[in-house]
Amino acid sequence: MSTVAFVNLAMHGHVNPTLPVVAELVRRGHSVSYHTSPAFARSVEATGAGVRLYTGGDRPLPGPPMPLTLLDGLARTTVELLPSVVADLREIRPDLVVHGAACPWGAVAACELGVPAAALFTTFAFDRRTPSPTRASWDLLASAVARPANAWGYLRSRWGLRRLPLLDLANVRQPLNLVFTSRAFQPGAGSFDRSYRFVGPSLGARPPDPSFPADRLRAPVLYASLGTVFDGGSRLLRTFATALAPLGGTVVVSTGATDPAALGPLPGNVLARRFVPQPEVLARAALFVTHGGMNSVNEAMYAGVPMLVVPQGADQPLVARRVVELGAGLSIRTRDASEEAVRALARRVLGEPGFRVAADALRVAQREAGGYPRAADEIEHHLRRVGRLRRPVTADSPRER
């Protein structure tokens, strides 16, 4: 049995793909710990892993969501959390630290303790063709000039980490890098070396939601959601509902932080709820209107559902562009998303068979990538390679992709 420590950003998009991997490692007999915030403690506990809570409680990254504020937040958080994380890891004595690629304190802690590490990419892997949002660039320099407080905050925190060679804090690579999408969806996948393993979406069984009225769904089911981080507001969500209503049997709108009542009166075939069992709905959906978060897009591709992507920020414009490049959907900017425009694009995606054909091809690629069992295989293979696997491997050997 080996001891594996997960250290990650406490955000849905970063935590959720890792939970099935953690549960699989526990099932195989490994001892797993997970550093996270109180908001995710229960979800982590359900995997069988031991929970280590960050000091200071929940720590949302500062806004607005842009590369400079992300760098500032990551650097500050690293300085603040590093002493307690290092102390915890000294006690845990892991054989391997598995950290998010945008979680530099995990990488720094592993380096300080001399423990082998692996990185997790819950969005695309980054290179010249797919540039990291926090790489050195003229845009980042211009942002620093416009927001000097964030720039100085980053530099002060970064100075405290000067002894460690971390440059791009949202793109921390290791000898093993697990990317939670398929090679087919990753731009320029062939340019990455063999340290990058494209394991596909990590989708585990979610607990059933008996409160969701699945019996009310009538084909074609059209589903709209803006995820958990970006709040598009009631106006945009209402636009989706009214635009899609004439095209669908049932329109499901996940409102997230927005109270469904704020959307006002809706057509009778619209079902608006704060939270929706997304995989269950996607399994029956003919169209997904999405913000373009990687987890949501991965789940849509896994179900073979074509998309209309309305990116809100972060990596979402890049994800939207890739969906369009591969023919699995269309995209529209938020400021252009009028009721008429959304309805016209949705009608096109529903009516032209090429979108469904492309989505079906991505469905096959996503499923063949291997998912969380493949990710667990790769972690065990890496443990063996660095001489830290303390028991015979019972799972199949990792498949090369």
Distance between CA 315 and CA 357 in Å, rounded?
25
* Distance between start and end Cα atoms, the chain: 27
State residue 128's pLDDT score.
77
* 167 and 97 in a common domain: yes
Distance between CA 161 and CA 167 in Å, rounded?
10
* 338 and 221 in a common domain: yes
56: left (phi over 0), alpha (psi -120 to 50) or beta: left
Q: Classify burial at 383, counting beta carbons within 10 Å of its beta carbon; exposed 0-12, middle 13-18, buried 19 or more.
A: buried
- Per-residue pLDDT band at 144 (split at 50, 70, 90): very low
* 53 and 164 in a common domain: yes
- Work out the angle at residue 329's Cα, subtended by the Cα atoms of residues 130 and 276, and round it to the nearest 5 degrees: 100
> What's the pTM?
0.85
Asked, for residue 394, whether it belongs to a domain, the answer is no
* 187 and 229 in a common domain: no
**What is the torsion angle, in degrees rounded to the nearest 10, for the CA atoms of residue 295, residue 341, residue 333 and residue 291?**
-20
State residue 140's pLDDT score.
46
* 295 and 235 in a common domain: yes
pLDDT digits (tens, 9 = 90+) for 338-366: 999 999 999 999 999 999 999 999 999 99
For 299, phi then psi, to 5°, come to -65, -40
Q: Nearest CA to 24 among 375, 369, 366? A: 375
* 229 and 184 in a common domain: no
* 348 and 313 in a common domain: yes
* 184 and 48 in a common domain: yes
pLDDT digits (tens, 9 = 90+) for 272-284: 999 899 999 999 9
> What CA–CA distances, in Å, run from 143 to 136, 173, 312, 313, 314?
11, 25, 18, 15, 15
Distance of CA 87 to the CA centre of its chain: 28
Distance between CA 234 and CA 260 in Å, rounded?
8
Asked, for residue 208, whether it belongs to a domain, the answer is no
- Amino acid occupying residue 119: A
* 36 and 137 in a common domain: yes
- Amino acid occupying residue 289: V
Could you give the percent of the chain with pLDDT greater than 70?
82
Mean pLDDT of all residues belonging to the chain: 87
How many separate domains does the chain show?
2
Domain CATH number, residue 247: 3.40.50.2000
Residue 161 has pLDDT above 80, yes or no: no
Q: Classify burial at 182, counting beta carbons within 10 Å of its beta carbon; exposed 0-12, middle 13-18, buried 19 or more.
A: buried
* 130 and 71 in a common domain: yes
* 273 and 132 in a common domain: no
Domain interval for residue 268: 214-366
- Per-residue pLDDT band at 145 (split at 50, 70, 90): very low
Asked, for residue 166, whether it belongs to a domain, the answer is yes
